[in-house]
């Protein structure tokens, strides 16, 4: 197999392994984060009733899924009762129907385990169109509950229409009136719409009923929704809010808590188009119904609690290391990107530099330096190094003693420069001194070696190229977001190696050469 084929195979293999590694690590991190954020809640229905006829039936509205809540388990207990599940149309409410033909007192317990995911992810309800019958149902009048044709209701609606003309503004006016303009009434007060209009105050249920009535009178399809809020309570009361059909979806409004168009993630709907969790039909009525509800938060699974235990796979998780090491590790992991940038500019663009890693190291010296003091220290290092190199060059010494003398000169100048900065209350950090000191000292010696071998002109080209490419490397190495990402996903460098191979196989013209010989191209 030729070297070209081997290179292509290596590139493909590295890209494949790197991509698979990134996918596995990302899915694992998402799973861990989700497990930490998720919470489990047990919702319990405790329903007691008395069966009085040949056929008695009780219907329990079951909690439904949403984008943030998923019902994982459902259990009900009473072997003396027959059970069946039904889904009501068009509301979509699920009901557990328990029935019996034996006259006696009965008790039904239903338990539901709900998973709350604050970030969501289970999907929003799809866009939909209401059929003619469905729209008519949610616009219809129910005199005892939604008196849409009542004179007081129509008068209030005309007031809304006089203050706003758009449908959106009218809907917002209705919500604001039901949420803010009505006073709070005692829980045992009248829940009726007419009572709320007459007294200027309403119970939570009265507010929801009034909003549905006004929306239907304004030709906005609307319905009541009854459900629960996931918070730990031993004696939980169902909560009723409103849904209005607008823009091909049902929008929630809660005139009690003031939520509009979106509810908190903790809200779980049970019965849509109704205000009772438990009901009994008139054809099979039950008596003395007593319903109690409770919510308890469950503990996290063992897999979440055991995450702190040691496992060999943790070696590949660099984020577990002490936080004070993250900055250094991130910078080390960014160095291959600096080398990649240098390789691109040298092999593809055609810009020469003082060595392969010099631009990246030059950029590192500024990443650790702190602005003004770093530039000042760097200037002192360069001036002292150049001056020392000129003076020592006349002695015709070997390279190692010569470099040592230059290093000593630079250190003395830097130490006294730091003292001067401290005198001016501009004390630089240790990082701003040490790295520029070491890196630039090496670059100065390399510059003079190149000067002696290839001339001053070529050496200056290398210096200019090193500074230019180093500036690009600095923009990448100083990018904290990239550093954090590469610390989390170090297998990204498998893709970096694949890019190195691709650049190494490049044998075409460099961009600088195309520009340099452009006159020949025009002549041809």
Burial of 520 (0-12, 13-18, 19+ CB in 10 A): exposed
Sign of CA dihedral 261, 265, 267, 273: positive
What is the residue whose two structure tokens read 């230019």?
468
- pLDDT value at residue 20: 93
Cross-strand partners of 268: 228
What is the residue whose two structure tokens read 């709907």?
269
CA-to-CA distance for 64 and 366, rounded, in angstroms? Answer: 57
CA-to-CA distance for 139 and 209, rounded, in angstroms? Answer: 13
Strands of 69-77's sheet in order across: 69-77, 104-116, 39-51, 286-298, 233-236
CA-to-CA distance for 23 and 314, rounded, in angstroms? Answer: 17
- pLDDT value at residue 204: 92
- pLDDT value at residue 206: 93
- pLDDT value at residue 35: 72
Find the helix packing angle between 492-504 and 480-488, rounded to 10°: 110
CA-to-CA distance for 98 and 289, rounded, in angstroms? Answer: 13
Q: How do the domains of the chain map onto residue ranges?
A: 132-273, 323-490
Please report, in angstroms and rounded to a whole number, the separation of the first and last CA atoms in the chain. 38
Q: Three-state DSSP class for 445?
A: helix
CA-to-CA distance for 360 and 350, rounded, in angstroms? Answer: 17
Q: Is this structure's pTM higher than 0.85?
A: no
How is 316-334 classified by DSSP, letter by letter? Answer: G-GGGS-HHHHHHHHHHHH
H or E segment and range at residue 335? helix 323-343
Closest C-alpha to 258, from 174, 164, 169, 175? 175
3-state helix, strand, coil in the chain (%, to 5): 50, 20, 25
CATH number of 132-273: 3.10.620.30
Are 95 and 62 spatial neighbours (Cβ–Cβ below 8 Å)?
A: yes
Closest C-alpha to 378, from 74, 370, 40? 370
How is 15-39 classified by DSSP, letter by letter? Answer: HHHHHHHHHHHHHHHHHHHHHHH-E
Sign of CA dihedral 224, 229, 230, 236: negative
CA dihedral 376, 358, 472, 10 (to 10 degrees): -160
441: tokens are 């000292």
Are 444 and 406 spatial neighbours (Cβ–Cβ below 8 Å)?
A: yes
Are 473 and 362 spatial neighbours (Cβ–Cβ below 8 Å)?
A: yes
The CB-based long-range contact list for 125-129 (8 Å cut-off, 24+ gap) reads 125/249, 125/250, 127/248, 127/249, 128/248, 128/249, 129/248
Dihedrals phi, psi of 177, to nearest 5 degrees = -65, -45
Sign of CA dihedral 113, 118, 121, 127: positive
Cross-strand partners of 74: 112
Burial of 355 (0-12, 13-18, 19+ CB in 10 A): middle
Biggest distance spanned by C-alpha atoms of the chain = 119
- pLDDT value at residue 284: 84
How is 77-116 classified by DSSP, letter by letter? Answer: E-TTSEEEEEE-TTT--EEEEEEESS-EEEEEEEEEEEEE
Are 178 and 260 spatial neighbours (Cβ–Cβ below 8 Å)?
A: no
Are 437 and 414 spatial neighbours (Cβ–Cβ below 8 Å)?
A: yes
- Residues in the chain predicted with pLDDT less than 50, given as ranges, are none
Query: Mind listing the pLDDT tens digit for each residue in 362-413?
Result: 787 777 665 565 566 667 766 776 677 677 777 777 767 877 777 787 778 7
H or E segment and range at residue 279? strand 278-279
65: Cα within 13 Å, side-chain hemisphere: 12
Are 359 and 342 spatial neighbours (Cβ–Cβ below 8 Å)?
A: yes
455: tokens are 């001339």
- pLDDT value at residue 318: 84
């Amino acid at each position: 197999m030729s070297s070209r084929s081997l290179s292509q195979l290596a590139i493909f293999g590295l890209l494949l392994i790197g991509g698979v590694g990134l996918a596995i690590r990302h899915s694992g991190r998402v799973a861990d984060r989700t497990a930490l954020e998720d919470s489990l809640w047990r919702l319990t229905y405790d329903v007691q009733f008395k069966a009085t006829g040949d056929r008695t039936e009780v219907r329990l509205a079951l909690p439904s899924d949403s984008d943030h809540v998923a019902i994982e388990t459902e259990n009900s207990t009473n072997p003396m009762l027959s059970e069946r599940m039904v889904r009501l149309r068009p509301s979509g409410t699920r009901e557990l129907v328990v029935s019996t033909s034996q006259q006696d007192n009965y008790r039904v317990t239903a338990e539901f385990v709900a998973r709350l995911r604050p970030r969501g992810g289970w999907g929003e309800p799809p866009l939909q169109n209401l059929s003619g019958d469905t729209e008519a149902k949610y616009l219809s009048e129910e005199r005892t509950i939604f008196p849409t044709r009542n004179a007081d209701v129509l008068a209030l609606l005309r007031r809304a229409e006089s203050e706003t003309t758009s449908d959106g503004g009218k809907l917002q006016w209705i919500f604001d009136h039901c949420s803010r303009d009505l006073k709070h009434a005692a829980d045992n007060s009248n829940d009726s719409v007419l009572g709320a209009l007459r007294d200027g105050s309403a119970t939570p249920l009265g507010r929801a009923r009034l909003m549905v009535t006004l929306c239907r009178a304004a030709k906005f399809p609307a319905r009541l929704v009854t459900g629960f809020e996931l918070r730990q309570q031993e004696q939980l009361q169902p909560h009723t809010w409103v849904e209005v059909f607008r823009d091909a979806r049902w929008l929630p409004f809660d005139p009690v808590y003031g939520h509009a168009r979106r509810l908190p993630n903790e809200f779980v709907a049970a019965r849509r188009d109704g205000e009772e969790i438990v009901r009994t039909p008139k054809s099979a009525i039950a008596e003395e119904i007593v319903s109690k509800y409770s919510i308890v938060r469950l503990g996290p699974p063992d897999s979440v609690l055991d995450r702190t235990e040691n496992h060999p796979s943790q070696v590949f998780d660099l984020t577990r290391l002490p936080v004070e090491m993250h900055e250094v590790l991130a910078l080390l992991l960014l160095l291959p990107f600096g080398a990649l940038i240098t390789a691109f500019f040298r092999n593809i663009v055609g810009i020469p530099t003082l060595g392969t890693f010099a631009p990246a190291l030059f950029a590192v010296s500024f990443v650790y330096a702190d602005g003004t003091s770093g530039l000042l220290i760097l200037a002192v290092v360069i001036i002292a190094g150049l001056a020392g190199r000129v003076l020592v060059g006349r002695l015709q010494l070997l390279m190692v003693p010569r470099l040592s003398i230059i290093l000593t000169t630079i250190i003395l100048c830097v130490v006294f420069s730091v003292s001067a900065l401290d005198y001016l209350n501009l004390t630089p950090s240790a990082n701003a001194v040490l790295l520029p000191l070491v890196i630039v000292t090496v670059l100065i010696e390399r510059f003079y070696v190149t000067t002696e071998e290839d001339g001053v002109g070529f050496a200056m080209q290398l210096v200019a190229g090193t500074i230019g490419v180093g500036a690009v490397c600095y923009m990448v190495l100083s990018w904290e977001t990239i550093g954090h990402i590469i610390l989390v996903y170090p297998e990204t460098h498998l893709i970096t190696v694949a890019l190195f191979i691709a650049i190494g196989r490049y044998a075409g013209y460099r961009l600088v050469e195309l520009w340099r010989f452009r006159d020949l191209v025009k002549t041809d």
